Structure 1
Amino acid sequence: MEPERTRIPVPGAEALAATVTAPEGGAPSAVLLLWPALGVPAGYYAPFCAELAARGVAVVAVDLRGQGESGPVSGRRSRHGYHALASRDFPAVTVQARARFGAEVPLFLLGHSIGGQAALLAAARAPGAVDGLVLVASGTVDFRGFAGAARWRVLASTQLLALIATLWGYWPGHRLGFGGRQPARLMRDWARLGRTGRFAPAGADLDYERALATLALPVLAVSLPDDRLAPAGAVDHLVGKLPAAKVDRRHHAPAEGESADHVRWARSGGSIAELIAGWLRDGR
């Protein structure tokens, strides 16, 4: 089946762009709502989504607000951060996916990098809305989760990016080569996590750290050997916030010819798709 482009309305905001990739011939065994990394459009994951669909799993890949085909383009007037993603965007997509595929089909959030961080916050807000989470190359940016000199580079870089975003009015990642255009509030939320190790986004109406500590959903967390942005220690640090969850922690070595890089794995993700499909079928 050819991927289907759609738009998902969000109350009080522009609709989010999404691509639905479903298995041919019959209902899917599960549905994954894929939330991308910073500055990565949902279309980049098309080969990975096709691998999952070939294994009977439907994927709804969503452009984060202000990324890809989801508007508006982030700029000085943008005010969203982690809290808006978790409290408005994720719930809207979850409701639409349930309506599309039926309440009886298991539904999971699949987050890559910052998409995984926001997915955790969304699940902490409404743990009954989904059946579990899958995190791929998604760790905390808390500098304590990195080893050696990398921890000080992470601390310095997260704070510098937030400072530039605040002074410029938004993060000009499309010019500086990292993360695309992003709102200053999102970058400050991200930097606060890097500095304090805590999810405390601006405007939050919930103690996210406390909610994460009681989240009891099944979680598959996958790290990659060539990932310098979310190494194994950073992934461990992130899932360490989930003492009540049933966490299946994997450090995955992709098959020969597949990338183990933080972003490029999505272009050749057959073995990761097989790992996820197996976990959905047997492991949780």
Structure 2
Amino acid sequence: MTDERRDDTAEEHFRVRTSGDAELVVRLRRAEQPDAPAVLVLPAMGVQAKYYAPFARGLHRTGLHVAVADLRGQGESTPAAGRGIACGYRELVHDDLPAVVRAVSSAFPASPVILVGHSLGGQIALLSSATALTGVHAVVLTAAGSVWWRGFGPLRGLRNLVGSQLLAALATVFGYWPGTRFGFGGTQSTGVMRDWARQARTGHYTVRGSAIDYEAALARLTLPVLAVGVENDTLAPPGATDHLLRKVPAAQVSRWHYAEALAGGRPLDHFRWVRHSDGLSARIKEWITTVAPTRQENPVGD
């Protein structure tokens, strides 16, 4: 408890203003070495940044700078998702993530920045990186996969297809998705749910309001990518991750499976890995040291 309290007192908070007067809260932990790599953790749909505190502490103990940002409409970000709030993947990919990366890069000017995305956060990380909007050095996908229904097998896939389209339709009727009431996805804007459901139905990333060919951009991505599968994960099973990774054939992809044996026998699934992530944090740090140069060695945006 003492170590945890000491970690918490070292945590900084700041807000990043982005489009539409949105403000995203970023939680920051500084490593002892100023030029240590900086990881930016991006949450899953409906998950608050505060939930990742055990993961952030574990990454920080390995000697990394760590930042965790609430997605627009989630957690402490403003405005909260609700009726009349216009937001979709375009805002997350084009406006929010690049703004947060710039803020993290300013906080750690000597450090390479690596995105660590969980579930939807991983998809947003890939999309933004593929369109050259962030200038990051690498991407880690944790329990992340395409939501295309065919990646889940015939029975579960059909259920996911019907469910995703129904949720998007309900979001349209309600004017937002009240996920906290129904136990899935948290409260989300209609735009996010429609973009999510479109990808579930078609398998392609086609973002409303953007003319970018995301599939072509993903195919050109050459960054190092570490894809971590998690034991007992039914929301991002191997087939879903396979489909996502097939979109980035030019990337330098490494894959790793986080099993319960590596988590000290603790139970794992799509969400519980966060609570038992020390083994994963160590693996991510090991991988980062092999792929991420210092900012001086490989400057970004120059």
Instruction: Give the TM-score, by structure 2 length.
Output: 0.90
In structure 2, relative to structure 1, the CA distance for the partners of 1:127 and 1:77 (3 Å cut) is closer
Instruction: Give the share of equivalent positions with the same residue, in percent.
Output: 45
Report the Cα distance in structure 2 between the residues aligned to 1:15 and 1:98, rounded to whole angstroms. Answer: 18
Report the Cα distance in structure 1 between the residues aligned to 2:27 and 2:63, rounded to whole angstroms. Answer: 16
Note if 1:213 corresponds to 2:202. Answer: no
Report the Cα distance in structure 2 between the residues aligned to 1:99 and 1:128, rounded to whole angstroms. Answer: 13
Note if 1:58 corresponds to 2:48. Answer: no
Measured against aligned partners, the alpha-carbon deviations of 1:258-278 in whole angstroms (never above 9, x if no partner) come to 332101111111011011011
- The one-letter code of the counterpart of 2:194 is R
Misfit runs of 4+, over 6 Å? none
Report the Cα distance in structure 2 between the residues aligned to 1:53 and 1:28, rounded to whole angstroms. Answer: 14
Residue equivalent to 1:154: 160
> Following TM superposition, by how much is the alpha carbon of 1:196 offset from its aligned partner in structure 2, in angstroms?
0.2
Note if 1:130 corresponds to 2:136. Answer: yes
Contact 1:224–1:232 under 8 Å retained in 2: no
Structure 2 alignment gaps of length 5 or more: 1-6, 293-302
Note if 1:278 corresponds to 2:286. Answer: yes
Measured against aligned partners, the alpha-carbon deviations of 1:170-207 in whole angstroms (never above 9, x if no partner) come to 10101111111100111010000000000001101311
Alignment: residue pair count: 282
Report the Cα distance in structure 2 between the residues aligned to 1:11 and 1:166, rounded to whole angstroms. Answer: 23
In structure 2, relative to structure 1, the CA distance for the partners of 1:214 and 1:55 (3 Å cut) is same
- The one-letter code of the counterpart of 1:268 is H
- The one-letter code of the counterpart of 2:152 is F
Note if 1:256 corresponds to 2:264. Answer: yes
Matches within 5 A, 1:1-284: 1=7, 2-23=10-31, 25-27=32-34, 29-102=36-109, 104-126=110-132, 129-253=135-259, 254-282=262-290
Contact 1:258–1:269 under 8 Å retained in 2: no
Measured against aligned partners, the alpha-carbon deviations of 1:92-129 in whole angstroms (never above 9, x if no partner) come to 01111111101x31111111001111111110111671
Cα RMSD after superposing both structures: 1.4
Contact 2:58–2:278 under 8 Å retained in 1: yes
